[in-house]
Amino acid sequence: MAAVLTKAVAFVAMIIMGYLLKRAGFFQAKDFYLVSRIVIKITLPAAIVSNFSKITMDYSLLAMCAVGLLCNFVTIVAGYLMNASGSREAKAFAMLNMSGYNVGNFTMPFVQSFLSPVGFAATSLFDAGNSVMCTGMTYTLASMVIGGEEKPSLKKMARKLFSSVPFDTYVIMTVLSILNWKLPAILISFADTAGGANAFLALLMLGIGFEFRMEKEKMNRILKILGTRYGIALIMAVGFYFLAPFELEVRRTLAIVSLGPVASVAPAFTGALNGDIEMASAINSLSIVISIAAITAALIFLL
């Protein structure tokens, strides 16, 4: 478990560094928006290109895409319903910050270290479905909730989805993977280099946006969101491992992935909707700490 703990400490250290640099004056709170734009428009798309370029499409595991979508929808609906009597802003905030899975930046290293290539493939395909949601669809649904009188339509949803650079990148790379077409080596090399910075910048972004001093009301909301999120995650993990109709390695993978932290881009999308980015970053940061403990415990149990 030394490798797990080492990776976990590195993740937490990056978040703490961003927070301490902000406290020291190196970063200002407004720098969050600059870093988030770099993450959403440059390093995250590059990471998607890099990861998909390494995947050989296994059609027998395509069901994992649907599972990734379903897990997101469950947590989005839960976020909306838990604020059924609240404001539109509260509903949208919970939908964004209780859903999505930080697979590429967080869970994938655990899977690579402890599971087989079958587990890695299953995780990649789960993340394909997950990416549809956390790089565009969830933001679209949340923005429609905030819009109030604005009636949802396929045209509006498509316009918002395809205005997301990560989502566009995901669609292009999925099509290329299905057709088994490879990008030029120079583009893949560029994506590997730029995408390699995504984990660091995403975690640094969380640290810049993080604020320890939270009012009691905000702390109660944070605990409510995280308590509901991880209650659902635990039920999913147990259900996947004991009840899902897949081979053992895939069931192990789904149990681990379902315990992952909230999508790293959630605070950035929260900022795009003029939401509370400090609270969003706190939720995201705390979810990483909780997931470190949860996934470590799951690995001890499952392996």
pLDDT of 152 reads 53
User: What pLDDT score does 132 carry?
Assistant: 80
Give me the pLDDT at residue 239, please.
96
Specify the pLDDT at position 297.
Answer: 87
Q: Going from the N-terminus, what domains does the chain have, and what CATH number goes with each?
A: 2-302 (1.20.1530.20)
For residue range 129-150, list pLDDT tens digits in order: 888 888 778 888 888 888 754 4
Q: What is the pTM of this model?
A: 0.76
Query: Which segments of the chain have a pLDDT < 50?
Result: 149-150
pLDDT of the residue at 151:
54
Mapping DSSP onto H, E and C, the string for the chain reads: CHHHHHHHHHHHHHHHHHHHHHHCCCCCCCHHHHHHHHHHHHHHHHHHHHHHHCCCCCHHHCHHHHHHHHHHHHHHHHHHHCCCCCCHHHHHHHHHHCCCCCHHHHHHHHHHHHCCHHHHHHHHHHHHHHHHHHHHHHHHHHHHHHHCCCCCCHHHHHHHHCCCHHHHHHHHHHHHHHHCCCCCHHHHHHHHHHHHCHHHHHHHHHHHHCCCCCCHHHHHHHHHHHHHHHHHHHHHHHHHHHHCCCCHHHHHHHHHHCCCCCCCCHHHHHHHCCCCHHHHHHHHHHHHHHHHHHHHHHHHHHC
